[in-house]
Structure 1
């Protein structure tokens, strides 16, 4: 699969000679700098309206081959004279939806019942599936049927807070990270060093304006610490929000008539994990199996109850929950340092990152205040 799709693409890059990230798009096989005064952030392009038309109309400065720049972005020691892709968003809030697919719902229940102990997961998985005895994929969250299943599970003693948000009336929406904290294509993604049971979460993430309009999408890796969240859902912040734990990219593809939200609803997302130990894991996530619509998840995030003046990016959740053993029977999957995680779909390209400890990934030092100061110095605000 090609690393980037056709369509109207927008992203950000670090370019030699500039203190601030530059706004880029793709023309054919070339990366083009389209940074301009008044629209020097992805936030400004999104909020001004007609984002796809604006990006399509810009000429800008050719920076070089997209493939060469993506290769440089993923290099262990990037060439400082060449651009490096960054996360394709900037001032937007980084939000995420949880437990939106049946498979991940069951795995969250297992995490909770195991109290973060991965050695108990296999036995618990069989026990819980036998107890549930219902195809949860047919349940509409918040429906009368879902309420009956909830009552039956409570009676059997396996009710869980994860089942509540999986089939109950309210979606789980949480803050994945702060604006400017996400990393992009080729960057390292971080695991908190206390974790010994963790996994990637391959997802589609929507670009949403301050008015709640969905205008584009990108790929995301919502890096997850299963043992930490399994100990207590109140540790969600520690499990989810760490240095370099939110990856997005390679570009935001803007809706343009040919590429729409309906395209996203039918997306098939492939995941591949390749370890330095020779381990390979392949999986996939089908957006057609999501239990809550993307529109309903956006409505649960932004509206009269909560505003985001700079817009937001919303991870939609994943159906992928890796159970393939690594390092011995019954031990399940967990990351090892150096794993390369690639998330791909034909409409959005490929997002690839290398796994490291969050304490060893480059620290996050460039925030919103730095960006605004640098843009002001460049007369771009």
Structure 2
């Protein structure tokens, strides 16, 4: 099942949580219970009853109003407002190769790619994260910026409850100058986008067998287009979660981005006005514009 978040409207004090079932029929869960106004609220209810989020949602469908998602795509919000967004790096071979190309110290990336311990870093806070149709940001002090399409793992109370799409926007020249500049290359205003929905863990049969594509348009023309599969990951989702959880008190809800295998060539950099589209099979499509911050 897929979970979307939309504005609640004039008569509602909360946002609207919409669920799409296996047949493609959508329901307004918030109409069945005002306590189900967010994915986090649904996850809390599931955790309290020791049930899956899909089980809790199905119990309320008979009381929920039907919803037409086709008329609301432009209103979609971040499907889950994560307390923190974390990200993993060098989990695909092409990412390791790209990091070597951008850096004067390539050995640090080779060591991570070949090592058991993955690279995991804090990517964004809620105020730095945008949702579908919002603009991602590129730093004004950077000359080489790229989107990084990634599968996102949604965790609640440390347990995987679903998956989403993430865009780990990065300033490659800043990180390439010195690996210690990684926080500045990764963490800034509008540095991350999440959406368009959260797909339950039960719906995704294998997170390591999903087609992923990246398309970048400029002035109505495609300037980059490529695809790959999450089966190219050298580290599993479970392994990434296990390292994130080690000696680390996790917030109630977070998203962990799992690395990218789609890296535009060195001659490319994002500019204001570009449109970035990420598709991941069984999850959906995340579209964002671009603005200088």
Does the alignment pair 1:163 with 2:157? no
The residue number in structure 1 matching 2:71 is 68
The residue number in structure 2 matching 1:276 is 219
The residue number in structure 1 matching 2:89 is 98
**Distance in 1 (alpha carbons) for counterparts of 2:82 and 2:164:** 16
Q: Do 2:271 and 2:292's aligned partners in 1 also have CA atoms closer than 8 Å?
A: no
Does the alignment pair 1:248 with 2:190? no
What's the offset of the Cα at 1:178?
Answer: 1.1
TM-score for both structures, normalised by structure 2: 0.88
What's the offset of the Cα at 1:207?
Answer: 0.8
**Distance in 1 (alpha carbons) for counterparts of 2:195 and 2:175:** 25
Which of 221, 233, 241 lines up with 1:290 in the alignment? 233
**Distance in 2 (alpha carbons) for counterparts of 1:63 and 1:237:** 44
Distance 1:191 1:236, change over 3 A: same
The residue number in structure 2 matching 1:342 is 277
Residues 65-123 of structure 1, C-alpha deviations (whole Å, 9 max, x = no match):
212211xx2xxxxxxxxxx211111243211101111111111111112xxxxxxxxxx
**Distance in 1 (alpha carbons) for counterparts of 2:229 and 2:257:** 14
The residue number in structure 1 matching 2:147 is 200
What's the offset of the Cα at 1:311?
Answer: 2.9
**Distance in 1 (alpha carbons) for counterparts of 2:68 and 2:271:** 32
Which of 348, 356, 362 lines up with 2:291 in the alignment? 356
Residues 251-283 of structure 1, C-alpha deviations (whole Å, 9 max, x = no match):
000022x533x2x11011011111116343111
Gap runs ≥5 in structure 1: 1-7, 74-83, 114-157, 324-330, 359-381
Which of 37, 42, 59 lines up with 2:39 in the alignment? 42
Does the alignment pair 1:306 with 2:248? yes
Which of 220, 235, 244 lines up with 2:166 in the alignment? 220
Q: Do 1:203 and 1:315's aligned partners in 2 also have CA atoms closer than 8 Å?
A: yes
Which of 6, 10, 19 lines up with 2:3 in the alignment? 10
The residue number in structure 2 matching 1:232 is 178
Q: Do 2:150 and 2:167's aligned partners in 1 also have CA atoms closer than 8 Å?
A: yes
The residue number in structure 2 matching 1:52 is 54
Does the alignment pair 1:265 with 2:268? no
**Distance in 2 (alpha carbons) for counterparts of 1:225 and 1:61:** 44
**Distance in 2 (alpha carbons) for counterparts of 1:193 and 1:19:** 37
Structure that is richer in strand per residue: 2
Gap runs ≥5 in structure 2: none
SS across alignment from 2:129: coil
Residues 34-93 of structure 1, C-alpha deviations (whole Å, 9 max, x = no match):
2745544322322433111112333366485212211xx2xxxxxxxxxx2111112432
What's the offset of the Cα at 1:30?
Answer: 4.2
